[in-house]
Amino acid sequence: MTTIDFSTPAWLINYYHVIGIISLFMNTLGLYLLMYQNSKLGYIRYFMLAYQIACFLTDVHLTLLMQPVPLYPMFGGFIVGVLAEWFDMSVHFSMMGVVFIVIIQLELLNICFERKHQAIANTLRTHILPVWFRMPCYFACVACPIGCCIWFHAVRLSKDEQWDLIRKDWPQYISDFQNLSHFDVYKKTWWFVFLLIITVLGGLFLIFLFVVFILDILRMMVALKLKISASRFQKHKEAIQSLLVQFATSSFCLAPPCCLAVIILLELEQAQLLTELCILWFATHSSANTVSLLIFFPPYRNFILKQLRM
């Protein structure tokens, strides 16, 4: 049987602090550039701004406010961040906050692609999504994070039920749990497993939607170049470049939640360490997004080069 390590890994907490501080700086820079250096992007920059704020909130919540430590192979963990130490918030509600913000974040990026797709589609008068189709989709964007949080809350055990589970399945760790001030454990029910499967399928479905929008946008851009002025085409091109960079980094960092679900379902060796690495990997996504934009997005890159020459 795998031995559970109840100690607080100093290396993990130190990385949380480092990633959190880097994220504060990089997201502040990203917000500044979006607000004051990207007027050519048009109204879509407000959706991108909302997406950047969601990324910022995710990183701060995970690395500074929450700081989760998993207890694999048990479905549970404890937190040592500000929310636990200062506000006595439980692991469950801290996790619910992560679930809610991450879903909002991915939906906002999807809406950015949809809005840019429809802006080009309206110019070309092709592939315009009807209102009867768009409205239910927008409603689903509102309902999805709320529904997922309700579902996640439904699989929660009361404290008495958690202690009963610990006494039944993990009696050798009772004293270790008694030394933890903020922990939650979950029972591996079919309802819980189904939630993990939906997490993986939902991530794959979002990537599929991104790819569909990207391929159609690139196809329409060829026809758009012949119908509008060079300056307007450049504005569309820069917005698409920005979205493509953010899609690439988001897809790269969408992998950790899916990997986390797979690790839990398959009960892999060294799963506790792998789980911790997945959490850290995911926590770097907004910083990686800003760095990628600074390298590959011309307006950001030109701004930085201009500042360095001064």
Q: Above 80 in pLDDT, residue 247?
A: no
CA dist 52 and 47 (Å) reads: 9
Q: Residue 45 is encoded by which pair of tokens?
A: 């920059």
CATH of 10-309, one of 3.30.1050.10, 3.30.300.160, 1.20.1070.10, 1.10.30.50: 1.20.1070.10
Segments making up each domain of the chain, as ranges: 10-309
Query: What integer pLDDT is reported at residue 266 of this predicted model?
Result: 67
Angle, CA 224 vertex, CA 222 and CA 228 arms, to 5°: 140
Least confident range from 176-185, 240-249, 266-275, 276-285: namely 266-275
Q: Above 90 in pLDDT, residue 250?
A: no
CA dist 120 and 122 (Å) reads: 5
pTM: 0.85
With residue 77 as reference, give the H or E element that holds it: strand 75-79
Query: What integer pLDDT is reported at residue 139 of this predicted model?
Result: 92
Q: Residue 111 is encoded by which pair of tokens?
A: 């809406």
Q: Which amino acid is at 308?
A: L
Query: What integer pLDDT is reported at residue 39 of this predicted model?
Result: 66
CA dist 43 and 280 (Å) reads: 33
Q: How many residues appear in the chain? A: 310
Query: What integer pLDDT is reported at residue 41 of this predicted model?
Result: 67
pLDDT for 166-192, tens place per residue? 999 889 999 999 998 889 999 888 888
Average pLDDT over residues 76-82: 90
Q: Which amino acid is at 67?
A: Q
Q: How many CB atoms lie within 10 A of CB 252?
A: 15
Q: Above 60 in pLDDT, residue 228?
A: yes
Least confident range from 59-63, 79-83, 299-303: namely 299-303
